[in-house]
Structures are given as structure tokens and as C-alpha cells.
Amino acid sequence: MKNKIDVAVLGLGGMGSTHAGAAKASPYVNKIYGYEPDAERAALRGKELDIEATSDLDAIMNNPAIKLIYIASINGVHSAQAIRAMRAGKSVLCEKPMGETLAEAQKMVEVQQETGQFLQIGFELHYSKIYMQAKQWIDEGLIGTPVNCHCRYYCSEFHSKNSWRSNSTGTLIGEKLSHYLDLQRWFVGSPVEEVFSMNAPNVVDYFNHPDNHQINLRFANGAAANLNFVMYIAESDHRDPLLEMLEKQSDDGHTLTYYIFGTKGAIETDVFRRRIRRWVFTDSPERLVSAIAETITYDKAEDQIWIHNTHGQNVHIAELVATGMAPENPVTDSFETMKVGFAAEISEKERRIVKLSELN
């Protein structure tokens, strides 16, 4: 018989719904609690999600049956809630960012080491098959040593005027782009030493933060990486009922691709074409010869598990906690990704190269 645990979801917005749905799907979860600071909203969302919801955080923290807490609250309370949960003896899966400041993120790491509690940060792309396949090819040595990694991420403006995101003074780097910086660290497999980032003037003039970023990384082994993000070129999403979503977006300006270049080959991941490809490089008397060696595609029904497998990650986290296993992505590694993001913000503000050693 499986060990079953009670879990709680803090923050019952869109991401909180995803966490609650994953908890319901887990054979290791017994009861699900929810938390919203406003009593009226807690009652409403509890009813909509069919879970027991409360506005009393003390009741969550003091309930000994709750072993795992999923944190999907607003960014400003991630660190404080994770720290409180760990000190209350809970295991924690926390969404990005780890904190709104480097000090908040560092404190979360310190408390995890102090308490020994399970703490994993929600970098669910480690559980998404398109990126897992890329990492497998790298680890098998099929492209040699990775020396260069480019990510192009172009989308439409999807936050809207006067939303919390458009009014935020924080950037998109910690919450959103950290996913894609984290993958570059994962693929290259070497510590980041230097960050140089810049942004152009905003096109989305009602945003209180940059709507574009060009983040450049230099790794200890000499490899380089670039993340180029623009959030306004793609056609606005009006969900044409006659077209499948990614089919439409595959050629309307939406782009989410990685190019990982190695000494013996290369990899391309392309979300909007539902495709991952691998090239092999060989020598000839005349030149280096490149050839496509492998192409994998997948059906739209598998989009979730291939491109953004939050559900699968969260279901698996419940199993890890219920069976007494350790986190698969150590919080110390996630903290290194957060440091890269903070370094990029400093680089943009101060218009200089930032060494990661400055943030130690």
C-alpha cells in the first residue's frame, strides 16, 4: 500500500490550479488543502477546485498531516513562505523566482541547509521531453563538447494593461526567463563565470520593466550562450477556432528554439514545430561536413509532456516526498540560475559585464 500524504497549495490562481490538479492525479496524495489570504477568494477558489481552502496560513503550517507544500503565491512571498514551511517541518516545491532579491533567495538556501527539509524549485523543463532528449544526446556524447548555446524566444504581449505583471517593477528574468537560462546551464554543464546583458527601449510602453532582453553568458570551460527574448513581435493570440494553436503560431512570429552547438554535432529544439533535431559533423578532405542524423517529432496531444511538463513534475514531487526521496534538482543548483538572472539585471542597469563571483 502506497504511503499517502496530505498536501497544501499556497496561491490558488492559474498556477495554483495546475498544482492542485497534479496533486489530484497523484496516487500518493490523500487530502489537498488550499490557501488564499482573502477569505472570500479562498472560499470561491476552494469550491471551484474542489479542495478545502482557507485564509488561515497558520492552520496550514500547524497541520501535522500536511507533509508537502506547493508554493504558487505572488513572487514577493515565495521566500518567506518557503522558509516558514521548512521550519514547520514541511517539504516544499516553490515556483520561481526564489526571491525578489538575491538575499531572499540565499536565505531560502540557508534555511534548507539548516533544516534539512526537502526543497525543490519549479524548473519543470527538466521534466519536459524535448529538453530531456537534448540532454540525453549531450550526455551520450553525440555532439561532442557543447561550446555554444543560443535560445530565441519571441512571443506576443499577453499580460495586458494594468495587470500585476505590466505594473510590476521586477523584470521577467527571475520568474520567466530563468527557465531558459537554467536549461543553458544544464546543457553546457559548466559554471557561469560572466554575464553581459542589455535591453533596447520598450515597445510596450505601459510595461514598468523591460519587454526585451539579450543575455550573454560565459562559462568556466570557455563555452558561451545567448538568450534573445522579445515579447511583442508575434501576432496577438485570438485563438482562431479553425486552427490548432501551435499550428497557427508556428509561422506568426512565435519562436522558442534552442541551438546547442558541440564539437562533433549540434541540436535544435523547436517548440512551435514540435520537433527536435540532431546534426553530426564529420571531416573530409575539403571541409567540415554537417548532416542531419536524427529528427524526432510528436503529436499535439503530447504537448504538455514534451514542452512544459509542470503537471508531470508536480506529480513526481509528491511521490518523492511520500517515499522519502531527495530532490532531483538540488536547491543549490537552482540558486546558481537565480544568480545568473540577478547578474543579468545588474548588467543591464549598470551597462557592464558582471562576474558571478561578485554575487558570492
Boundary-marking domain end, from 88, 121, 154: 121
- Percent of the chain past pLDDT 70, that is, above it, reads 98
- Is there a domain that residue 108 lies in? yes
Report the number of distinct structural domains present in the chain: 2
Look-up of cell digits 476552494: 46
CA–CA distance, 300 with 313 (Å, rounded to integer): 19
At 188-236, the pLDDT tens digits run 999 999 999 999 999 999 999 999 999 999 999 999 999 999 999 999 9
- Is there a domain that residue 270 lies in? yes
Identify whether residues 225 and 271 lie together within a single domain: yes
Identify whether residues 58 and 156 lie together within a single domain: no
Which pLDDT score is estimated for 348?
A: 98
CA-based nearest residue to 306, from 127, 122, 126, 129: 129
Q: Give me the amino acid identity at 226.
A: N
Q: What is the pTM of this model?
A: 0.94
* CATH code, domain with 79: 3.40.50.720
- Residue 184 C-alpha cell reads as 543553458
- Residue 201 C-alpha cell reads as 527601449
> By three-state DSSP, how is residue 11 classified?
coil
Q: Which helix (H) or strand (E) holds 167?
A: helix 164-167
Structural domain for 159, as ranges: 127-307+339-359
Identify whether residues 210 and 235 lie together within a single domain: yes
Identify whether residues 215 and 300 lie together within a single domain: yes
Identify whether residues 166 and 39 lie together within a single domain: no
Q: What are phi and psi of 10, to 5 degrees?
A: -95, 115
Boundary-marking domain end, from 101, 121, 141: 121
Q: What are phi and psi of 7, to 5 degrees?
A: -130, 160
- Is there a domain that residue 273 lies in? yes
DSSP string, 91-119: EEEEPSPS-SSHHHHHHHHHHHHHH---E
Torsion of CA 298, 304, 308, 309, to 10 degrees: -110
- Is there a domain that residue 139 lies in? yes
- Residue 222 C-alpha cell reads as 570557455
Boundary-marking domain end, from 84, 105, 121: 121
Identify whether residues 203 and 113 lie together within a single domain: no
| Cα torsion angle, 32, 38, 44, 45, sign | negative
- The residue count for the chain: 360
- Residue 260 C-alpha cell reads as 546547442
CA-based nearest residue to 170, from 114, 225, 208: 208
Helices and strands (H and E) in the chain: how many = 12, 15
- Is there a domain that residue 262 lies in? yes
> In a 10 Å sphere around its CB, with 0-12 CB exposed, 13-18 middle and 19+ buried, how is residue 355 labelled?
middle
Which pLDDT score is estimated for 242?
A: 65
> By three-state DSSP, how is residue 227 classified?
strand
The 10 Å Cβ neighbour count of residue 76 is 13
- Is there a domain that residue 81 lies in? yes
In the chain, beta strands by DSSP E = 5-10, 29-35, 52-54, 66-71, 91-94, 119-121, 146-154, 192-198, 212-219, 224-230, 255-262, 265-270, 275-283, 288-297, 354-355
Identify whether residues 60 and 145 lie together within a single domain: no
Which pLDDT score is estimated for 238?
A: 73
CA–CA distance, 358 with 82 (Å, rounded to integer): 26
Task: Tell me how many degrees the CA angle 77-79-83 measures, rounded to the nearest 5.
Answer: 115
Identify whether residues 218 and 351 lie together within a single domain: yes
CA-based nearest residue to 180, from 158, 155, 208: 155
Low-confidence ranges of the chain (pLDDT < 50): 1
Identify whether residues 300 and 162 lie together within a single domain: yes
At 300-317, the pLDDT tens digits run 999 999 999 999 999 999
The 10 Å Cβ neighbour count of residue 169 is 7
- Is there a domain that residue 325 lies in? no
* CATH code, domain with 280: 3.30.360.10
- Is there a domain that residue 83 lies in? yes
Identify whether residues 106 and 15 lie together within a single domain: yes
Identify whether residues 43 and 137 lie together within a single domain: no
Identify whether residues 117 and 228 lie together within a single domain: no
Look up residue 173 and give its DSSP letter: I
